[in-house]
Amino acid sequence: MKPDIAYQPDSGKSGWVGILSERHPNPALKADREADYCVVGAGFAGLAAARRILLLNPKASVVILEATQVGSGPAGRNSGFMIDLPHVLSSSSYAGETGTDRRDIKLNRRAIDFVNNMVCEFKMPEESFRAEGKINGAASQKGLRANNEYAEHLDKLGEPCELLDKQTMESITGSSYYLGGLHSPGCAMIQPAMLVQGIAGGLSAYENCRIYEQTQVQAIHKQGDRWNLSTPGGSVLANKVILAVNGFVENFGYYQRRLMHITLYASMTRELTAGELADLGGEERWGITPSNPFGSTVRKISDSGGHRLLIRNRFSYDPSLTLIDNQIEAAEADHLSAFVARFPMLSHVPMEYRWSGRLCLSRNHVWALGEVAENLYSACCQNGLGATKGIIAGIIAAELASECKVNSMMPEFQTGEIPQKLLLEPFMTKGARVYLKLREWQAGKDK
Ligand SMILES: Cc1cc2nc3c(=O)[nH]c(=O)nc-3n(C[C@H](O)[C@H](O)[C@H](O)COP(=O)(O)OP(=O)(O)OC[C@H]3O[C@@H](n4cnc5c(N)ncnc54)[C@H](O)[C@@H]3O)c2cc1C
């Protein structure tokens, strides 16, 4: 029988998973189970939801169902910037509207603290989460202007930041490519796969929380006043369900034609040798987001997986949630040209991993978050800043499901606005693709 709810994993092996030592995943569901709460999806939102439920209802039974292995979904295949500041992708410099930005910073920082608490409590390795800050790198005059504009905006918000000159950028990155930078201290740099696997490990230690991996929810229906979720090996009958499946929430029948599905692409080098590290120079570790939101993100990591560089650029709009096979290969040229332009001394170093991952946006930049049917909640559509906003969405959905009316961790969040409808086809897809290409082209040297 064809499953009601389609799912397709992301393409290519995430370098973050590749550089970890082998892990034994939790087994797939192979029996019928009952639970107070069932969380679908073990990304940032799903894991945060489960954790918040357990904090609010220590005796509740919680089952988490994940279609792939923890860390293999987008939560383990991103660039690893858990950003506290405004990060509006449609803007020229990430700045948003002052009032909204003030509220978002508060929410983002609570999410980062929430993760930090788990990192400490679950005794995760230091490299999984470091509150080190990040730099917006500018490689063009336009990029420098965007950094200045953003610095002024942060100043108005009372947020500390520091403009860096070309020499300082070179002494940090080893690359003479950047003309300037803007450092902000509040971003946590994560090893995303290690972080989500560590959180999943911590949650599995609770007797009343079970995680089933390689367990795709294929159908969901009401059974009396409970929800029945079918998977290939068994079903879960739950009082309350949280869908933390990001864009796949459409396949569950919610927010249809309201979500924009974007694919992002990243590559990671093989381990750099001692000689290559000396040729590169610069600091041990650093993380650069582009001053232009459509430019290249670059990271240098120096941890248990060795010294490596990561590069992320290129966007594609894929409304069917399925990726055309040759798109990862198409990203290769973009990654290599951005890499060689920044690190000509390493032009011979091959990429060991190349992968893609999906994220989900709405036209009006709001979450797909709230109760979508009786006792069924959505914690989806993180609008690009999924590492932080996914955690926020999971916490809020857990609080709604737990009927936590006082002591909310996210009191500033207001329910109400839902993602705006998309334009009619073919205008939506054509328009989105032209927009992405144009913005990437406008990013110029910052790409
Ligand atoms: C290359 C790349 C770089 C990025 N860089 C950053 C960054 O630096 N900072 C940042 O904040 N964000 C970044 N993002 C975005 C971020 O990774 C996502 O927004 C984030 O992972 C969303 O979290 P989530 O928990 O909502 O969803 P996801 O991480 O997508 O998790 C949803 C989970 O649901 C599971 N699922 C779906 N359907 C089913 C089903 N039927 N049954 C069971 N399970 C199901 C999926 O397998 C998946 O694991 C990046 C994304 C990519 C691809």
CA-based nearest residue to 436, from 343, 334, 336 = 334
Predicted local confidence at residue 94, as pLDDT? 82
**Confidence at 262, pLDDT banded by 50, 70, 90:** very high
Q: Over 80: is that where the pLDDT of 41 sits? A: yes
Cβ contact 115:170 at 8 Å? no
- Percent pLDDT > 90 in the chain is 90
Domain assignment present for residue 407? The answer is no
Q: Whose CA is nearest to atom 52 of ligand 1?
A: 78
Residue 373 has which token pair?
């049917």
Q: Over 70: is that where the pLDDT of 342 sits? A: yes
- Percent pLDDT > 70 in the chain is 99
Residue 48 CA: nearest ligand 1 atom is 25
Domain assignment present for residue 420? The answer is no
Torsion sign across C-alpha atoms 232, 395, 387, 317: positive
Q: Over 60: is that where the pLDDT of 2 sits? A: no
Domain assignment present for residue 439? The answer is no
Predicted local confidence at residue 325, as pLDDT? 62
Residue 47 CA: nearest ligand 1 atom is 25
Of 4, 5, 29, 44, which is best to mutate to test ligand 1, by the most ligand atoms within 8 angstroms of its C-beta?
44
**Confidence at 312, pLDDT banded by 50, 70, 90:** very high
CA-based nearest residue to 5, from 250, 228, 255, 223 = 250
Tell me the residue type at 256.
Q
Residue 218 CA: nearest ligand 1 atom is 41
Q: Give 285 Cα–ligand 1 centroid separation in angstroms.
A: 24
Q: Over 80: is that where the pLDDT of 345 sits? A: yes
Domain assignment present for residue 406? The answer is no
ω into 411 cis (within 30 of 0):
no
Predicted local confidence at residue 324, as pLDDT? 67
Domain assignment present for residue 409? The answer is no
Predicted local confidence at residue 170, as pLDDT? 98
- 219 φ, ψ to 5°? -160, 150
Domain assignment present for residue 68? The answer is yes
Predicted local confidence at residue 33, as pLDDT? 98
Predicted local confidence at residue 96, as pLDDT? 81
Q: How many distinct structural domains can be found in the chain?
A: 1
Predicted local confidence at residue 326, as pLDDT? 73
Q: Over 70: is that where the pLDDT of 184 sits? A: yes
Cβ contact 76:197 at 8 Å? yes
CA-based nearest residue to 4, from 241, 221, 215 = 221
Ligand 1: list residues with CB < 6 Å. 5, 7, 40-46, 65-68, 73-75, 77-81, 83, 216-217, 244-246, 248, 264, 266, 312, 357, 359, 380, 382, 385-388, 390
Q: Give 297 Cα–ligand 1 centroid separation in angstroms.
A: 17
Query: What is the rounded distance in angstroms from the CA atom of residue 378 to the CA atom of residue 246?
Result: 9
Burial class, 180, CB count within 10 angstroms (exposed 0-12 / middle 13-18 / buried 19+): buried
Of 51-55, 88-92, 198-202, 332-336, which gets the smallest average pLDDT? 88-92
Of 146-155, 246-255, 330-339, 398-407, which gets the smallest average pLDDT? 398-407
Domain hosting residue 352, numbered range: 15-401
Q: Over 90: is that where the pLDDT of 117 sits? A: yes
Question: Phi-psi bin for 94: left (phi > 0), alpha (psi -120 to 50), beta?
Answer: left
Please enumerate, as own/partner, the contacts of 380-383 that have beta carbons within 8 Å and a separation of 24 or more. 380/45, 380/243, 380/244, 380/245, 380/246, 380/247, 380/248, 380/249, 380/255, 380/259, 381/246, 381/247, 381/249, 381/255, 381/259, 381/419, 382/44, 382/45, 382/246, 383/89
Q: Quote the mean pLDDT of the chain.
A: 95
Over residues 366-392, the pLDDT tens digits come to 999 999 999 999 999 999 899 999 999
Over residues 119-177, the pLDDT tens digits come to 999 999 999 999 999 999 999 999 999 999 999 999 999 999 999 999 999 999 999 99
Over residues 395-432, the pLDDT tens digits come to 999 999 998 877 899 988 877 799 999 999 999 999 99
Predicted local confidence at residue 321, as pLDDT? 84
Instruction: Return the CA Rg of the chain.
Output: 21
Domain assignment present for residue 20? The answer is yes
**Confidence at 20, pLDDT banded by 50, 70, 90:** very high
Taking residues 229-234, report their average pLDDT: 98
Residue 215 has which token pair?
């367990």
Tally of CB atoms within 10 A around 176: 12
Torsion sign across C-alpha atoms 89, 94, 98, 103: positive
Q: Over 60: is that where the pLDDT of 1 sits? A: no
- Assign residue 292 the CATH number of its domain: 3.50.50.60
Domain assignment present for residue 380? The answer is yes
Residue 47 has which token pair?
């894991």
Residue 68 CA: nearest ligand 1 atom is 47
User: What is the pTM (predicted TM-score) of this model?
Assistant: 0.97
Of 68-82, 141-155, 316-330, which gets the smallest average pLDDT? 316-330
Over residues 271-294, the pLDDT tens digits come to 999 999 999 999 999 999 999 999
Query: What is the rounded distance in angstroms from the CA atom of residue 215 to the CA atom of residue 230?
Result: 10
Residue 387 CA: nearest ligand 1 atom is 11
Q: Give 175 Cα–ligand 1 centroid separation in angstroms.
A: 31
